[in-house]
Amino acid sequence: MATADSAINEISSMALPGLGRALVVAGKIGQRAAEDIFAKAKNSRTSFIAELTGSGVVSPFDLAHIMSQAFAAPLLDLDAVDIMRLPRDLLDAKICQTYRIVVLGKRNNRLIVATADPSDQDAAEKIKFSTQLGVDWIIAEYDKLSQMLAASSATATQAMDKIIGDDFEFDESTIESITDTTDPSVSEVDDAPVVKFLQKMLLDAFSMRASDLHFEPFEHSYRVRFRVDGELREIASPPVAIKEKLAARIKVISRLDISEKRVPQDGKMKLKIGPDRVIDFRVSSLPTMFGEKIVIRILDPSSAKLGIDALGYEPIEKARLLQAIGRPYGMVLVTGPTSSGKTVSLYTCLNILNKPGVNISTAEDPAEITMPGVNQVSMNEKAGMTFPVALKAFLRQDPDIIMVGEIRDIETADISIKAAQTGHLVLSTLHTNDAPTTLTRMRNMGIAPFNIASSVILITAQRLARRLCTNCKMPTDIPRQTLLEAGFQEDDVDGSWTPYRPVGCSTCNNGYKGRFGIYQVMPITEEIQRIILRDGSALEIAAQAESEGVRSLRQSGLYKVKLGMTSLEEILGCTNV
């Protein structure tokens, strides 16, 4: 161990964490590559180990073996550990989630702790401070640690029962004292049951990779649901008496007016997940018959930095999109329903375009993902900051690229089109079903065909489909006629590929794990421009696009079925013929 430590200390760049230096010494990664990954993790506010394993430079399996050798620590396969037998009261669950560690047991005055990064001094100090015990590290694979932490997390209902008990009485002075301060964080009540419950919900949602949390009051019950991989799942049923306190707590830390319960409100809040990672949450309150329904959307800035390849674009679709955003002026539109990934697609494009010599300004309602180097403006109708006002201001500030969160009215559309026609690249979104109907939707808004044809250069429609779990997916037999009715061509049903179906295992959600995009990327060619100028229908535009090799959303989805990425049922459910 002394030899490894001395070698590690000889690495020239002391900015790298111990984990990175150990990998450089072991020859598994170059010094420059390690520094690049560390810089990327710092910029995206993620941990070095998460960025390292996520990038695929080092697999969790290889990383565990390297760490075991470098730090002379035993290696353990967590698949052999019974989760139900793990001690639960030796260390706070928040610390375990933050540092991605699992407590295996206690021996005398020392804790036996599984980790993927034994060089993490912050974790060791936090454990010692919290428990007054020493730490003996056991090395485990990072992905298995994450899975075990998610699986061993107690249900929210059990946690709530444990925290408040049957005879809990709410202290009205708690909320009053919090609302009196201008900085809610100053008045944190860490041992308040509602605070603990909310914190657990947010951490559980993040660990389960949920996109939204729904807090829903009813007459005789209260329900908490998470949207995981596009599906809502009931997570907890806390006592109905908690609804007022919980809504007030969420509104306080989101800087909303807790005295206003008659109209909807929107706000934002932050949660520190780890020592160097902060997650933003968008909060929306809605008055219902039995209290305020609160929906919290998780906004992970790192999702916009995954790169265009991670979004699911096929090579030809990717080439069309990159060619469009590489042009000096024109309008690129991203369309689809709510929660179809439009914002992530736009910010992925902005991330590609974000260079020191480019002036980028965005108008959003509200700005969801923070991106350094981009001038972001959130709309505030009460203060008079609307999309048209923001766009007019942008045009007086020498912009190169403008991003409009959504084109909602004729005035916003008119200014955006003029900007696209006068030397600016404009990116925006519309809520339409597919790319061809986007053009007719713009006509219905009152935009002249000439303006549409001369400004729009590409439209991409998208949906999010669930990805089959690679651990448990199974081949299935689908009748030939069913495949043809779904949209496959005769040449596609020749038996050269195998369809799969979801099964379900301990590592996935009913046979699915994660989501990917399916896209219809339609460049506005000269032929399509002619159809627009003569005020042609969406059907004519769709037929012309198909003749030019543009896949429909259904065809794009069926291609993913052929690749074994998802099931036929999933594609039929999220696309129309």
Reply yes or no: is the peptide bond before residue 449 cis, omega within 30 of 0. no
Q: 192-299 has which fold?
A: Beta-Lactamase (3.30.450)
Give the residue carrying structure tokens 């081949």. Answer: 475
Give the pLDDT band of residue 500 (cuts 50, 70, 90). Answer: very high
Residue 514 phi, psi (nearest 5): 85, 170
Q: Between 450 and 157, whose confidence is greater? A: 450
Give 331-345 pLDDT, tens digit per residue.
Answer: 999 999 888 888 888
Q: Which residues pair with 209 in a beta bridge?
A: none
- Predicted confidence (pLDDT) per residue in 237-279, tens digit: 888 888 888 999 999 888 899 888 899 998 888 877 666 667 7
CATH of domain 18-153: 3.30.300.160
Residue 463: which pLDDT band, with cuts at 50, 70 and 90? very high
Q: Give me the percent of the chain exceeding a pLDDT of 90.
A: 33
CATH hierarchy code of domain 303-466+515-551: 3.40.50.300
Query: What are the domain boundaries of the chain?
Result: 18-153, 192-299, 303-466+515-551
Per-residue pLDDT tens over the stretch 521-563:
999 999 999 999 999 999 999 999 999 999 999 999 999 999 9
Q: How far apart are CA 369 and CA 366, in angstroms?
A: 9
pLDDT of residue 435: 93
Does pLDDT of 491 surpass 90?
no
Query: What rounded mean pLDDT belongs to the chain?
Result: 82
The residue to which tokens 């910029």 are assigned? 43
What would the pLDDT profile of 408-436 be if each residue is shown by its tens digit?
888 889 999 999 998 899 999 998 889 99
Angle at 563 between CA 303 and CA 340, to 5 degrees: 35
**Residue-level pLDDT at 311:** 83
In whole angstroms, how large is the CA radius of gyration of the chain? Answer: 26
Q: Which residues pair with 516 in a beta bridge?
A: 465
Q: What is the pLDDT of residues 61-107, one digit of tens each?
A: 888 888 888 888 898 888 888 777 787 678 887 788 888 888 888 88
Please give the angle made by the CA atoms of 19, 70 and 1, to the nearest 5 degrees. Answer: 120
In contact, 518 and 463? CB cutoff 8 Å:
yes
Sign of the torsion angle spanned by Cα atoms 249, 251, 254, 259: negative
Q: Are 152 and 178 in contact (CB under 8 A)?
A: no
Spatial strand order of the sheet with 222-228 comes to: 231-236, 222-228, 210-217, 291-299, 277-288, 265-274
Report the amino acid identity of residue 532: I
Q: What is the pLDDT of residue 17?
A: 67
